[in-house]
């Protein structure tokens, strides 16, 4: 009898304990929801250009000696630039500034109804190049290091590569669509999103150049290395000539 009573008391205590913990968790949850949002993006900066939902920031230097070539970070259109600047001691922006970099950031506000007609071309042929020109003017230099985050990386990669040079004249109107386009030798210029991922994996240095040649797999199996060599011999000189135009 005593054993049964002790067991019942133990079960009751456990239930009481679980209920009390659940109440405390609910109270903490309500306190969290009622608390103000954490302060982020506190590193001092100036807005040097605003257009629609686009904001171009220039962060104030934190050391006397600043590198000549500025950094322009392009945030994804669906994220906020405070990802680069969460809190003191946990900020990419702060890290770069303290090491002498001149930092600019392209940030985006939530899209507006009047911007529903914007196309990929607007971002890669207008918004980003316009910001690059403003960074060049403010820094008094032609050189700009362009860095993109997430979808911002895709846009930055497309904006910095003159795709119209690499496709036939009849396809140039589609050069900045997010699709693969024909070039020559039954090959295509890769889809921009795929190119951005490839460049990320290659970890390229500033002076590197890349020619992407993809040989159709069935043909490669039949003809082997000879076909690959023939394609490369045809495409490489023309690509080298186009790259030399930069």
Inter-CA distances, 46 with 25, 43, 100, Å: 41, 10, 18
pLDDT the model gives residue 231: 56
pLDDT the model gives residue 190: 73
More confident position, 127 or 13:
127
| Averaged pLDDT of the chain | 81
pLDDT the model gives residue 220: 45
Instruction: Give the containing element (helix H, strand E) for 26.
Output: helix 2-34
Model confidence at 202, pLDDT cuts 50, 70, 90, reads confident
Whole-model pTM? 0.64
Model confidence at 20, pLDDT cuts 50, 70, 90, reads confident
The rounded distance, in Å, linking the Cα atoms of 164 and 183 is 11
Write down all domains in the chain, each with its CATH number in brackets.
Answer: 45-160 (3.40.50.1820)
Kindly write down the DSSP assignment for every residue of 150-194, as one continuous string: THHHHHHHHHHS-GGGGS-GGGGGGTTSSS-EE-STT-EEPPHHH
The rounded distance, in Å, linking the Cα atoms of 183 and 168 is 6
Tens digits of residue pLDDT in 118-175: 888 889 889 999 999 999 999 999 999 999 998 898 889 888 877 777 778 888 888 7
Tens digits of residue pLDDT in 222-244: 444 444 555 556 666 766 666 66
**Is residue 8's pLDDT more than 70?**
no
Contact 235, 183 (CB under 8 A): yes
**Is residue 213's pLDDT more than 60?**
no
């Amino acid at each position: 009898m005593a054993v049964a009573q002790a067991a019942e008391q133990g079960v009751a205590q456990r239930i009481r304990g679980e209920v009390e913990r659940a109440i405390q968790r609910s109270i903490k949850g309500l306190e969290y929801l009622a608390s103000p949002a954490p302060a982020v993006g506190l590193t001092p900066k100036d807005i040097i250009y605003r257009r629609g939902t686009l904001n171009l920031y220039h962060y104030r230097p934190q050391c006397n000696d600043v590198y000549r070539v500025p950094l322009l970070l392009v945030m994804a259109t669906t994220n906020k630039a405070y990802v680069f600047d969460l809190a003191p001691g946990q900020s990419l922006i702060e890290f770069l500034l303290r090491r002498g970099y001149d930092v600019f950031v392209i940030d985006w506000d939530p899209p507006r109804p009047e911007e529903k007609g914007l196309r990929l071309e607007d971002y890669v042929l207008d918004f980003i190049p316009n910001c690059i020109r403003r960074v060049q003017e403010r820094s008094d230099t032609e050189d700009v290091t362009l860095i993109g985050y997430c979808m911002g990386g895709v846009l930055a990669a497309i904006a910095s590569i003159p795709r119209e040079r690499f496709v036939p004249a009849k396809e140039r109107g589609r050069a900045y669509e997010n699709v693969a386009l024909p070039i020559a030798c039954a090959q295509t210029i890769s889809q921009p999103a795929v190119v951005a991922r490839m460049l990320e994996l290659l970890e390229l240095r500033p002076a590197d150049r890349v020619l992407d040649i993809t040989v159709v797999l069935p043909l490669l199996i039949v003809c082997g290395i000879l076909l690959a060599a023939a394609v490369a011999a045809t495409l490489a000189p023309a690509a080298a000539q186009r790259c030399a135009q930069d």
